[in-house]
Amino acid sequence: MKFNEIKEIEERFYSRAFSRLPVAIEKGIGMYLYDFDGKRYLDMFAGIAVNSLGHSHPKIIKTIERQSKKLMHVSNWLYTLPQLELAEILVRITGMERAFITNSGTEAVESAIKLARKFSDKKEIIAMENSFHGRTLGALSLTWGKKYRKPFEPLLPKMKFVKYNDIDSLKKSITDKTGAVIVEPIQGEAGVIIPDPDYLCNIREITEKRGILLILDEIQTGFGRTGEMFVFQKSKIKPDILCLAKGMGSGFPIGAMLSNGIDFNPGEHGGTFIGNPLACEVSKSVIEVIINENLVENSKRMGKYLKENLDDMGANVRGKGLMIGIDVDNGKEKVLELIDKGVLTIYSRNTVRVLPPLIIEKKHADEFLGAWLNC
Ligand code: PLP
């Protein structure tokens, strides 16, 4: 099928909600994606930090085959084991108390907002400037960008924003109506913005002192993306609520909200598809591969290699693990140039975002660096 024919189908039948890059993908294997003409692309953004194990991972294919033959869905009227086993794994690897499974990141944030609202009489939630927490109305109320928010106002009341990586600005904004603070440990959609090393600890200290819930959004940073399993573990703090998704399913839609000391009562929250056995079995396998194949360490090592080499080339680069941002004159132009060279990345304004699968090897990094040097 030709690219223009695919575009025509979109123009006729699909919502205009997306503004896409000019590539249509037919299939993927490992670190590579292939378009309908068979052109090969090195995948350096992993479906926005999602395909942690790359494409068509044999272990995940096997899990999907096995579980889909056994059981895909029964709803939460009934007990299923994969959901509970995944919860146990999540609790063990995060050190949190309880897990609630969701279908996406934005649903994890919605769950967090509901739990915070339920728990605290103080209804105000403070989020950060340039934050991104999702697009459903609750999560959108905590997302900074005007272009995302404006057409849908009024959003949830009592949400306010303070400067990211500015503890004084947070301290000044806290009132006796503040019930929760939500923060990304590294801002992803804003263009890979890394705060000071003690930022999370300082937020935890203030929120604890003032009896305010800390909601940590590790939807993009979690599961090894930054060279740590989770960023908060390096800071040695514990949030009250933790939101996860993206790399957790390596392409299968799933997320989670974990909590400490607070929880829903029966009937207060739910969803038909939430925690279905197929999604949960896939996520269990993804986490197993990430751990058994030391992909967190690989993320740290390959991230360092990419950053050092980009630095040597004179690029304006920053990042942690495989969450890398490179400032350029024109983000979109650079991403289009890289597409011509057979490399896929994304951009936030004038930052090219490099978020490859955690399975990346030196030869793939070198292929990317070669393409970067030549455009
Ligand atoms: N939170 C963060 C930090 C994100 O990066 C994203 C997505 O980019 C979301 C929440 C929303 O997740 P989803 O797109 O799965 O709804």
Task: Determine the pLDDT at residue 292.
Answer: 98
Question: The domain spanning residue 261 has which CATH number?
Answer: 3.40.640.10
Distance 132 CA to ligand 1 centre (A): 7
From the CB of 219, is ligand 1 less than 6 Å away? yes
CA distances from 149 to 95, 109, 128, 133, 146 (A): 34, 16, 15, 12, 5
From the CB of 217, is ligand 1 less than 6 Å away? yes
Q: Does 168 map to a domain?
A: yes
For the chain, 375 residues long, give each residue's pLDDT as a single digit of tens.
Answer: 999 999 999 999 999 999 999 999 999 999 999 999 999 999 999 999 999 999 999 999 999 999 999 999 999 999 999 999 999 999 999 999 999 999 999 999 999 999 999 999 999 999 999 999 999 999 999 999 999 999 999 999 999 999 999 999 999 999 999 999 999 999 999 999 999 999 999 999 999 999 999 999 999 999 999 999 999 999 989 999 999 999 999 999 999 999 999 999 999 999 999 999 999 999 999 999 999 999 999 999 999 999 999 999 999 999 999 999 999 999 999 999 999 999 999 999 999 999 999 999 999 999 999 999 998
Residue 76 and residue 215 in one domain:
yes
Residue 216 and residue 278 in one domain:
yes
Task: Determine the pLDDT at residue 260.
Answer: 97
Q: Are residues 235 and 200 in contact, defined by beta-carbon separation less than 8 angstroms?
A: yes
Task: Determine the pLDDT at residue 279.
Answer: 98
User: Could you list the residue range(s) of the whole structural domain that residue 342 is in?
Assistant: 6-31+45-49+294-373
Phi, psi of 318 (to 5 degrees): -145, 165
Q: Is the pTM of this model over 0.95?
A: yes
Task: Determine the pLDDT at residue 306.
Answer: 98
Ligand 1 atom closest to the CA of 255, numbered from 1: 15
Q: Is 304 part of the annotated catalytic residue set?
A: no
Q: Which of 111, 131, 220, 226 to mutate to test the pocket of ligand 1 (most atoms within 8 A of CB)?
A: 220
Residue 299 and residue 154 in one domain:
no
Q: Is 217 part of the annotated catalytic residue set?
A: yes
* Axis-axis angle for helices 277-292, 295-312 (nearest 10): 70
Give the Cβ contact number of residue 313 at 10 Å. Answer: 12
Nearest CA to ligand 1 atom 1: 133
Residue 283 and residue 304 in one domain:
no
From the CB of 184, is ligand 1 less than 6 Å away? yes
Q: Is 368 part of the annotated catalytic residue set?
A: no
Task: Determine the pLDDT at residue 265.
Answer: 97
Residue 115 and residue 185 in one domain:
yes
Residue 118 and residue 199 in one domain:
yes
CA dihedral of 245, 246, 250, 255, whole degrees rounded to 10: 20
Q: Does 184 map to a domain?
A: yes
Q: Distance between CA atoms of 216 and 183, rounded to whole angstroms?
A: 5
Task: Determine the pLDDT at residue 35.
Answer: 98
Which domain-ending residue is among 292, 315, 337? 292
Q: Does 38 map to a domain?
A: no
**CA 199 to chain centroid:** 20
Task: Determine the pLDDT at residue 95.
Answer: 98
Domain count, the chain: 2
Task: Determine the pLDDT at residue 144.
Answer: 97
Task: Determine the pLDDT at residue 60.
Answer: 98
Nearest CA to ligand 1 atom 11: 134
Q: Distance between CA atoms of 178 and 209, rounded to whole angstroms?
A: 13
Which domain-ending residue is among 270, 292, 314? 292
Task: Determine the pLDDT at residue 114.
Answer: 98
Question: The domain spanning residue 366 has which CATH number?
Answer: 3.90.1150.10
Task: Determine the pLDDT at residue 85.
Answer: 98
Ligand 1 atom closest to the CA of 221, numbered from 1: 3
